[in-house]
Amino acid sequence: MELYNSIIEKIESHIGSQTPIRYDYNPNKCWEDVGGNQLVMMREAAYELGGDSKPAVNYACVTSGDYVDKDEILVYGKDLHEIRGSVPFARVAVIKTKDLVGEGEEDTEPLFRAIQDIDFVKYHVYPKGYMIRSSSDSFREQVRVSKEAVSRGINFEQVGNSYITQFKKNPDVIAVKLIFLTVDDADYAGLRADAKKTRDITLTLSKILEGMATDCHSCNLREICDEVEGLKELHFGKEKKEFKG
Ligand code: SF4
């Protein structure tokens, strides 16, 4: 399943010049999870990732290609316990799955469902003192971090372990690379553009699944289908299969 590969290949070019700190996944080093929505009031907050209108980007790309060889967390820039004020922020997940579209198969439903399940993980992680506010329209993921969490030493390794633990509950997931960015010199506009493209690909899959018409000339998804290798094949493969019954 290689629809998102061209986006994955651009991640490095969006990141600034810094070398990341890498952590291997360790399920025993997760930050405490409160199990549901929490409120961190402004007066309790140490700072916000993406606060004061700074960039705050999030997206997840699914692939069965060789982009992820183990579960790991990469941190570019200051870690949570080192930040003193609003910083730009991005969290990008690259998720290696089993091949969800096998050779010669045209059924988009398992693929779409798996991608959706994986994407929904972001709504099931509730690190204590790390209040996430997501907007799927603007691709923002802004995080308010509490003074208490900072004084207790919260860091991206622990928060990343919490995310990866959730991702790995899905049996289709093989390995996860989770990237946190707080550097000033990353190309956040480029990351945001790719967050949108990721969303557009998933949206196109859902439209294909709904059984929309197959005239590319009059289709409003043509731009993304022209750009992303594999989408047209998926659509017309599905139609062929349904026609055959
Ligand atoms: S393959 Fe053609 S008809 Fe199908 S979604 Fe893409 S542009 Fe539209």
Structure tokens at 58: 């999030």
pTM of the model: 0.91
Residue 103 CB contacts under 8 Å (≥ 6 apart), including other chains: none
Cα 232 to ligand 1 centroid, rounded to whole Å? 6
> Residue 211: which region, alpha, beta or left (left: phi > 0; alpha: psi -120 to 50)?
left
pLDDT at 103 over 50: no
User: Ligand 1: residues whose CB is within 6 Å?
Assistant: 204, 207-208, 214, 216, 219, 221-222, 225, 231-232, 235
82 vs 12, 79, 86, 156, CA distance in Å?
24, 5, 12, 11
Query: Would you kindly state where each structural domain of the chain is located, as residue ranges?
Result: 5-244
Question: Distance between CA 110 and CA 172 in Å, rounded?
Answer: 10
- Closest atom of ligand 1 relative to the 219 alpha carbon: 8
What's the pLDDT tens digit per position in 25-72?
Answer: 999 999 999 999 999 999 999 999 999 999 999 999 999 989 999 999
Instruction: Say which residue, 22 or 240, is predicted with more confidence.
Output: 22
Atom of ligand 1 nearest to the CA of 216: 2
Taking residues 154-178, what's their average pLDDT? 96
Q: What is the pLDDT of residue 209?
A: 81
Ligand 1 atom at minimal distance to the Cα of residue 213: 3
Computed over every residue of the chain, the mean pLDDT equals 90
Q: Is 167 left (phi over 0), alpha (psi -120 to 50) or beta?
A: alpha
d(CA 152, CA 172): 35
Statement: residue 242 has pLDDT above 60? no
Residue with tokens 């398992």: 110
Question: Could you tell me which CATH class the domain 5-244 is placed in?
Answer: alpha beta
